[in-house]
Each structure stands twice: as structure tokens, then as C-alpha cells.
């Protein structure tokens, strides 16, 4: 599903215009992104939990040359699906 298809589905379900649904989706994504930047955890009951995970520094290998390289530690977004979401997929 593309963003445009998601906006159409939100507009249809919530009885909004496509423009309003697009703004609502953008606002939701921005709010989640900002919260994750600050290290917060976002829980939407039944849907899932967004959080920030830490990746340790490690040594990698360039597949073309075989050269070893240092990969820096980083923070990555994580999502754990909630029970209702898991059950709806099965």
C-alpha cells in the first residue's frame, strides 16, 4: 500500500477529505518521529509500540574488496506489533 492509498483509506474510514486525511497522516508520522528523536516510546494499544533501539559498533567487511571496516554505533527505530494487529493478520 502506498501513502496515497493509505490517505484514501483514512479519508474513507474517517469521513474526511483526502487533504484532511493527508494532513492527519503527516501529523501522526511527524509526532511519532519527534517522540522517537527524544528517546520516548509510543504505545498504541492493540496496534503496537514504537521505540528506539541501539546498535553497537561492530566490524564489517566490504563485500567487493574484502576490506574490514568499522561500523559506528547507531540508534534505530523499532516496532513491535500488538496482539490485535497480530491476530488480524492471521
Span 54-70, pLDDT tens digits: 999 999 999 999 999 99
Are 53 and 19 members of one domain? no
Q: In what order do the strands lie in the sheet with 74-81?
A: 42-44, 48-55, 74-81
The residue among 53, 82, 57 whose CA lies nearest residue 70 is 57
Span 32-58, pLDDT tens digits: 999 999 999 999 999 999 999 999 999
Are 8 and 48 members of one domain? no
CATH number at residue 50: 4.10.520.10
Are 10 and 48 members of one domain? no
Are 29 and 47 members of one domain? no
Question: Residue 59's domain spans which residues?
Answer: 41-90
For the chain, the domain total comes to 2
pTM over 0.85: no
Mean pLDDT score of the chain, rounded to an integer?
95
**CA-CA distances (angstroms) from residue 3 to 6, 26, 50, 77, 90?**
5, 10, 19, 19, 24
**CA separation for the pair 10, 35 (Å, rounded):** 23
Residue 90: pLDDT over 90: no
Instruction: Please give the pLDDT value at position 4.
Output: 97
Are 34 and 49 members of one domain? no
Q: Which residue has the cell 571496516?
A: 69
Amino acid at each position: 500500500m502506498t501513502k496515497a492509498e493509505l490517505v484514501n483509506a483514512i479519508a474513507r474510514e474517517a469521513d474526511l477529505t483526502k487533504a484532511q486525511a493527508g494532513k492527519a497522516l503527516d501529523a501522526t508520522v511527524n509526532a511519532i518521529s519527534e517522540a522517537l528523536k527524544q528517546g520516548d516510546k509510543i504505545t498504541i494499544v492493540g496496534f503496537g509500540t514504537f521505540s528506539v533501539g541501539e546498535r553497537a559498533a561492530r566490524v564489517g567487511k566490504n563485500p567487493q574488496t574484502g576490506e574490514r571496516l568499522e561500523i559506528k554505533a547507531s540508534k534505530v527505530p523499532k516496532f513491535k506489533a500488538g496482539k490485535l494487529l497480530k491476530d488480524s493478520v492471521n
